[in-house]
Amino acid sequence: MKLEEVFLPTHPGDVGIFGDPIEHTLSPLMQNAAFKTWQLAFKDGKRAPALYHKFRVEPNQLKEAVALVKKHQLRGVNITIPHKVAVCHYLDALDPFAEKVGCVNTLVLQSGKLKGFNTDGDGFRLSLEQEFGPKEKIHTALVLGSGGTGRVIVQALLKMGKKIGWWNRHFLKIESLLKDKKNKEMLEHVTLIKSDKDLAAASAVADLVVNATPVGLSPEDGMPASSLHFREGQCVFDVIYHRETRFMQEAKAAGSRVCGGLSMLVHQGARSFELWTGAPAPREVMWKALLESFQQA
């Protein structure tokens, strides 16, 4: 099926999500519940209903998909793996934070122009506070992954004043970011982790370990890195939300405090909803929709 045909069921004012793969996403559950609540708040019936759609968009289709958002006058879309960085090239404008991290997870159509935002930073920060308590308890963090989500989480932790170790299987990606003069703050507060030995040491002492890689999306996936060393009482966060990953299982077995990405999903999704509608997001409704889906699974 051509991408143009995938957009035919949409109506002006609808929203959705671009990704590849996309089958696992739970965003439609919580966002459609939120939009239904928003619609019911307008008793005069003049507010047009909006639906949230899933769009499987392959990398070579991304430019066309962005153009179709404008053509079909969607309110906006979320962006997920693997498009969060590449989509920046096809937008009319970027929010300052999105421009800083070079990564977008939310598009908003405003006066015929598409502007990119990133709500993952707020989602991550609020999730940490919700799951692990006051942020002052965390002084050092280790972040795994240098893709779009990893970059955002590093920036969020920098804003929180944390010392960060950063690892990626291909460490040259991080090295190039740290050499960029625009990232002076990173040079002062971020340490590049290259070797397995250094990764084992960093993971053993960090107050917080974050998996921001896609390892765990598939049930067959193992660990994002083999040399990780968890400890009792440590905070361990996995951005993957639809299953308990091997990363989470091993951390839990070591006595760590473990959190999946579900709360981050809700908080970042709530912020996207607010950008699209200008209305406060019904977070409790969004939470309930997700929890009910897990109970039925």
Look up 2 and say whether it is catalytic: no
Least confident residue range of 95-99, 140-144, 154-158, 176-180? 176-180
Q: Do the domains 3-118 and 121-262 sit in the same CATH topology, yes or no?
A: yes
Q: DSSP character for 144?
A: E
CATH homologous superfamily for the domain 3-118: Leucine Dehydrogenase, chain A, domain 1 (3.40.50.10860)
Question: What digits encode the pLDDT tens for the residues 66-78?
Answer: 999 999 999 999 9
Query: Taking a C-beta distance cutoff of 8 angstroms, is the pair 109, 74 a contact?
Result: yes
Highest-pLDDT range among 23-32, 133-142, 179-188: 23-32
User: 3.40.50.740, 3.40.50.720, 3.40.50.300, 3.30.70.940: which CATH number matches 121-262?
Assistant: 3.40.50.720
Query: Looking at residue 246, what is its pLDDT?
Result: 96
For 168, residues 6+ apart whose C-beta sits below 8 A from its C-beta are 144, 145, 146, 150, 174, 213
pLDDT of residue 187: 77
Report how far residue 34's alpha carbon sits from residue 55's, in angstroms, rounded to the nearest whole number: 19
Could you give the 3-state DSSP secondary structure of residue 210?
strand
* Residue 148 to residue 117: CA distance in whole angstroms: 12
Domain ranges of the chain: 3-118, 121-262
pLDDT tens digits, 212-256: 999 998 889 999 999 999 999 999 999 998 889 999 999 999 999
CB atoms within 10 A of CB 173: 15
Distance separating alpha carbons of residues 10 and 221, to the nearest angstrom: 35
**Residue (of 275, 296, 292) closest to 284 by Cα position:** 292
Write down the pLDDT at residue 60: 96
Say which of 84, 184, 252, 288 is annotated catalytic.
84
